Amino acid sequence: MKDEIEFYVRYSETDQMSFVYHGNYVKYFEMGRIAWLNKLGFSYKKMEEDGILLPVIDLKINFKKSALFDDKLTLITTLISIPSYMIEFEYKIKREGSLISSGYTKLIFLNSKTNKPMRCPDQIINALKKV
């Protein structure tokens, strides 16, 4: 499953050289994951309230071109495979249709009470099977 969102680079996200500070791409990826879950019908906040955490355990970013203040960016978030204990996403950030950055994250489903890995909730698996 894939989701796409558009947003504008805010001034506070840029560095002294007027480029988007590299650490903000991690935040963009998070925006993409939250939007992806919402599109599937799930709230990240509700998952946390239900005792499910999703910490990032692997992250990769490939920078091709710089983004600047007020650029309109398109973020495409794609699920790599049906999740089990982990869930993996690929990301593409485009400006005017041209790829400027790509990335990857792996997150693990964690029980907040025991701090132990857990299987992906059945509701998410069942929702993915319907897509």
- Which residues are part of the catalytic machinery? 15
- Specify the 3-state DSSP secondary structure of 98: strand
**Cα atoms in the Cβ-side hemisphere of radius 13 Å centred on 55:** 9
- Specify the 3-state DSSP secondary structure of 16: coil
Q: Is 32 exposed, middle or buried (0-12, 13-18, 19+ CB in 10 A)?
A: buried
CA 90, CA 59: separation in Å to the nearest integer?
A: 10
**Token pair recorded at residue 76:** 């495409």
- Beta bridge mates, 56: 107
DSSP 41: T
